[in-house]
Amino acid sequence: MHLNTLLCRLVAVWPILVGPLVAHARGVDFGQIDTSSASTSAVLVRVLGDPRAAEPAPVASANYSRWQDGETGSVGVARRWSLIQGPHPLILGTGVGADTFRSRAPGDHEREDRPSLRAQLETYGAVPGGFLYALVQASSFRASAFATARYEPRALPVAFELSRISTRGYRANTGAISVPLGHSRWSLRGGLVRDQNEQHGFFGVSYNGF
């Protein structure tokens, strides 16, 4: 992996992806963009209600991923319920989405557009030494799944994150470190992405309004 290639890739997608995020930051509760020499991903999340309400509000989300052989995008809405309440809640979400996939492999013109059913589980709370957030999602579109865990140690101004994405024809594992930008809700991210073929470094930016 060449650092110059990575930087050029980040600069190229920055105006396209970060521009709308900045313009609508007040209407977005979470946003994240990562890019490497081989892949790019972006996600936006909006809570459709009061995030501080006793019962979890529905969420709307938009996702996009692009890799060497393909790209996929989706928008969706999920209703959420508290299965377990307290300092470590367990929240179930179910919903529907609209998804698309396009192959980028030479000579392969596969394209798929269809609605999907989706489900998710999330939990969060204080753990020894810091704070943990975990999320697992599954979709009927191309047997897609996503899982992530984020740990924020109290003693350090950073966060550590592990995640995995899987869809028919593509799988990738990501390890990341996030560093907050001062006292704002923005963070810079960096780490490694390992897919079926090789390993790449990546840079990114995230906004967390929760």
Selection from 207, 163, 148 nearest residue 18 by Cα: 207
Beta carbons within 10 angstroms of residue 159's beta carbon? 21
CATH topology of domain 3-208: Porin (2.40.160)
Closest CA to 67 of 113, 44, 34, 19: 34
| pLDDT tens by residue, the chain, 210 residues | 444 444 444 444 444 444 444 444 457 899 999 998 888 999 999 999 887 777 899 999 999 999 888 999 999 999 999 999 999 999 999 999 999 999 988 888 889 999 999 999 999 999 999 999 999 999 999 999 999 999 999 999 999 999 999 998 889 999 999 999 988 899 999 999 998 778 899 999 999 988
pTM of the model: 0.83
Residue 200 · residue 190 · CB < 8 Å: no
- pLDDT tens-digit profile of 70-87? 999 999 999 999 999 999
